[in-house]
Structures are given as structure tokens and as C-alpha cells.
Amino acid sequence: MFSDARSRKVIWIAHCILNQNSISDGTADYPGGVREVVEFLLKSQIGIAQMPCPELHCLGLDRGDPMGAARSVVVENTRIRAALDRPVSRRILKCLVDSVVFQMEEYRRHGFTLLGIVGINRSPSCGVDTTSKNDKEVKGQGIFIEALRRELEKRNLHIEIIGIKALETDVSLKKISVLLDGC
């Protein structure tokens, strides 16, 4: 089974790495996707699995406030984080996490190499090393990454999770290279 040209290597990336149109107003750094990261992964012959955008699923494209871009990024991200921490959003996040973990288990069951997860630092949902809280960028994880990490641990799936920043291209590519070298 699966004896065709596929690499049998998959990496999961935050939705906004492939689609900057999905992120909160005033925060897009690219018109489409983070081209350098996507090109690097494609040149490395790795399958790219796009995780769902938790904020879009829970709060909509305007994140529940069409005036969000009028606030600074960390202030708006703090508001978004609080909205993601409500019971209705937590239920949606659980479904999203379950879907991502199902994919990972399915690939692993068929002998694919799960290379890791790439999140976006400072994000209230997909931050890995930093997130937004109390109107500041602080050390810690976004709400979606926290939930995903807990579920992976619960299911005994050991998948490295790294965080990048879209505009820190060289640092981001170096972190991804280290992740890939470890597999």
C-alpha cells in the first residue's frame, strides 16, 4: 500500500502559514501565504497538512468585532484569547483538536513519518513559545496549541511542536530545518 511517489512524510502547519487571509484584521504580513516556509517544505518533498484556523471556526473572520484592527495587535489578541476561552469556543476547539489528532493517528497507522507541528508565535490560539495575554506578548502557548498538546500526550503521540514568526524568515527556516533534521 502507498508504493507510489509520495514521500510518506507529513508536517502540520498553522492555517495562516498557507492562508494569511484567515487571520485577524490588521495582522497579515503577506498577501497569500508565507511563501518562504511553504516553498522550503515543498522543496523538501514533505506533505503539508494545514491545521484548521481555530479563531475563524470559533469567532468568524472578523473575530466577533469588525473594529478589531483599531486596537494594537496584542490588545486585540488578548480579546480574542478571552473569547476562545469561553465554553462554546472550547467545545469547538475540542472538535478541531480531535480532527487533527485523528489525521496524525491515521498517517502513523499507515507508516508515515510525522515530522512535527509548526505554530505561529504571539497567536492567542496557535502560539507555541509565546502568546498574547494581558495585552502583552508573553511566554506560553495559545489555547489551541495547549489543547492539542494535551490530547497528543493523552494519546501517547510524541510529535514535536515549534513556533515561528512569519516575518522572521531566516530564524523560522532554521527552526524548521532543525525540526526536519531531528526526524
Is residue 55 within 8 Å of residue 84, measured between CB atoms? yes
Q: Which triple of cell numbers denotes residue 137?
A: 506578548
pTM of the model: 0.95
Q: Which triple of cell numbers denotes residue 182?
A: 531531528
Q: Which triple of cell numbers denotes residue 103?
A: 489525521
The three state secondary structure string of 11-39 is EEECHHHHCHHHCCCCCCCCCCCCHHHHH
Grouped pLDDT means (10 residues each) for the chain, 183 residues: 89 97 90 95 96 98 92 96 97 98 97 97 98 97 98 97 95 95 77
